[in-house]
């Protein structure tokens, strides 16, 4: 493999051309170089490593693109969504769902990185110094894509803490992401979220918007069962065994089918004034699932218990997106300090994700493809295309290639 990009492959150039109006001419050239370099292998991604992988680029201009340039992440993201909506196999449809969740990029030694504060991070299983973001991901049975991300700044970053007018909680950011999704004309059926978001403010927001939702409930939340307020974690003990009369096979976190026993009833919460459907599911999502019991709430009263839990399993797609961004596109490997630069790098990773989703369609068309095609397969195809383009460039510019190679040897 030729681990360098002298000229971007044609497919990447066609993709980046869609965003030409978002940048000045010089910045656009750096943007193409950055995208080309990011999609190559890196032990640890940095502007310096991208400059090293793109010998014809300029390190200073790459630095300017990320840290100083005033290009709009919102304009770039809108163009990205237009690209996805313009490709029928990738576009959002009304049978898809909108998933809300947050994730973190641990930075234990980054004491001078903006908004990297000690806070809880699920990925770390506790508190750690990290940058955190809230994400909205659209998902259907066949495909999925990130809609938008919002950077979370902990209360420690504000003079007045939570009372500061500029502070936005994760719940508020989630609400803004849902509104943004609607404004961009992205259709969806239900909003899916885990137990952290199942609270008064978020549920009332969804109700005011007229949206349907499915969420998991845990801990001390109480629901109305047989005319008594009962804790969620006590339900499985008091529901008669014969009421678990539905058996369903559902996809677990690991992709394998799992057996669940279901019981359901209509209920209410103390902090919302409308009827809900409660589904208690006995079963494990994977071998690491210690709970063995999961409780789901939804305002979809006409949907069967099986469908409520089955629809909720689409929430795994947001975990897939987080993993793909971090494993393939170095989402958490940035070495910049300002939140502006971090946002720029994050949104360029979203662009690369959508580019690879488009390229993935070409992998699917290849003969003898029987297994599920992943984003990693699309990345492998891109790197093969990059190798072919690099070989063509070297044949056209042998003298310049020799000079670059000699320069690298002198620097080393």
Reported as a single tens digit per residue, the pLDDT across 307-357 is 999 999 999 999 999 999 999 999 999 999 999 999 999 999 999 999 999
Q: CA-to-CA distance for 181 and 166, rounded, in angstroms?
A: 22
The answer to whether residue 3 sits within a structural domain is no
pLDDT tens digits, 147-169: 999 999 999 999 999 999 999 99
The CATH number given to whatever domain includes residue 265 is: 3.90.350.10
**pLDDT score at 72:** 96
The pLDDT of residue 125:
81
Q: How confident is the model at residue 378 (pLDDT cuts 50, 70, 90)?
A: very high
Distances, alpha carbon 197 to alpha carbons 132, 230, 257, 352, in Å = 15, 20, 27, 29
* Cβ(33)–Cβ(62) below 8 Å: yes
Residue 200: pLDDT band with limits 50, 70, 90: very high
The whole-number pLDDT of residue 411 equals: 35
**E strands present in 11-161:** 97-106, 117-121, 126-139, 144-152
Same domain, 301 and 232: yes
Q: What is the mean pLDDT of residues 372-377?
A: 86
Residue 386 placed within a domain: yes
Overall average pLDDT of the 82-106 stretch = 96
pLDDT at 412: 39
Give yes or no: residues 386 and 293 share one domain. no
Number of domains composing the chain: 2
Mean pLDDT along residues 86-91 = 93
- Domain containing 394 equals 10-71+366-411
pLDDT at residue 100 is higher than 70: yes
Judge whether residue 364 has pLDDT over 80.
Answer: no
Domain final residue, candidates 299, 316, 333: 316
pLDDT, tens digit (0-9, with 9 covering 90-100), for 183-196:
999 999 999 999 99
Are residue 307 and residue 397 in the same domain, yes or no? no
pLDDT of residue 403: 53
Nearest of 83, 66, 2, 6 to residue 31 by alpha carbon: 66
Query: Which residue among 316, 341, 375 closes a domain?
Result: 316
């Amino acid at each position: 493999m030729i681990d360098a990009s002298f000229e971007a492959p044609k497919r990447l150039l066609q993709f980046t051309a869609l965003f030409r109006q978002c940048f000045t001419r010089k910045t656009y050239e750096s943007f193409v170089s950055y995208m080309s370099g990011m999609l190559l292998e890196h032990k640890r991604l940095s502007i310096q490593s991208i400059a090293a992988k793109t010998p014809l680029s300029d390190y200073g201009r790459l630095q300017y693109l990320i840290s100083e340039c005033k290009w709009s992440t919102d304009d770039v993201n809108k163009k990205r969504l237009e690209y996805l909506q313009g490709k029928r196999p990738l576009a959002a449809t009304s049978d898809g769902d909108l998933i809300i969740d947050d994730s973190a990029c641990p930075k234990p030694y980054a004491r001078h990185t903006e908004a990297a504060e000690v806070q809880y991070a699920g990925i770390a299983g506790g508190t750690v110094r990290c940058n955190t973001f809230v994400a909205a991901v659209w998902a259907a049975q066949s495909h999925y894509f990130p809609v938008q991300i919002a950077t979370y700044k902990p209360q420690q970053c504000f003079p007045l803490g939570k009372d500061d007018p500029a502070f936005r909680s994760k719940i508020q950011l989630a609400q803004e992401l849902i509104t943004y999704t609607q404004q961009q004309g992205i259709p969806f059926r239900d909003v899916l979220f885990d137990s952290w978001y199942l609270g008064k403010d978020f549920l009332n927001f969804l109700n005011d918007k007229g949206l349907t939702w499915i969420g998991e409930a845990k801990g001390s939340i109480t629901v109305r069962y047989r005319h008594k307020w009962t804790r969620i974690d006590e339900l499985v003990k008091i529901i008669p065994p014969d009421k678990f009369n539905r058996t369903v096979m559902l996809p677990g976190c690991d992709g394998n089918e799992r057996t669940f026993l279901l019981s359901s009833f209509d209920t209410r919460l103390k902090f919302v004034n409308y009827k809900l459907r409660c589904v208690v599911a006995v079963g494990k999502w994977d071998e690491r699932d210690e709970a063995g019991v999961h409780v789901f709430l939804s305002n979809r009263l006409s949907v069967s218990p099986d469908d409520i839990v089955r629809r909720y399993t689409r929430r795994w797609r947001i975990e897939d997106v987080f993993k793909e961004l971090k494993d393939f596109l170095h989402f958490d490997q940035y070495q910049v300090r300002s939140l502006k630069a971090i946002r720029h790098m994050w949104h360029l990773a979203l662009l690369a994700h959508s580019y690879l989703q488009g390229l993935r369609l070409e992998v699917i068309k290849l003969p003898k493809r029987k297994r599920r095609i992943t984003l990693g397969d699309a990345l492998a195809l891109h790197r093969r295309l990059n190798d072919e383009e690099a070989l063509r460039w070297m044949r056209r510019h042998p003298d310049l290639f020799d000079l670059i190679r000699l320069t690298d040897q002198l620097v080393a």
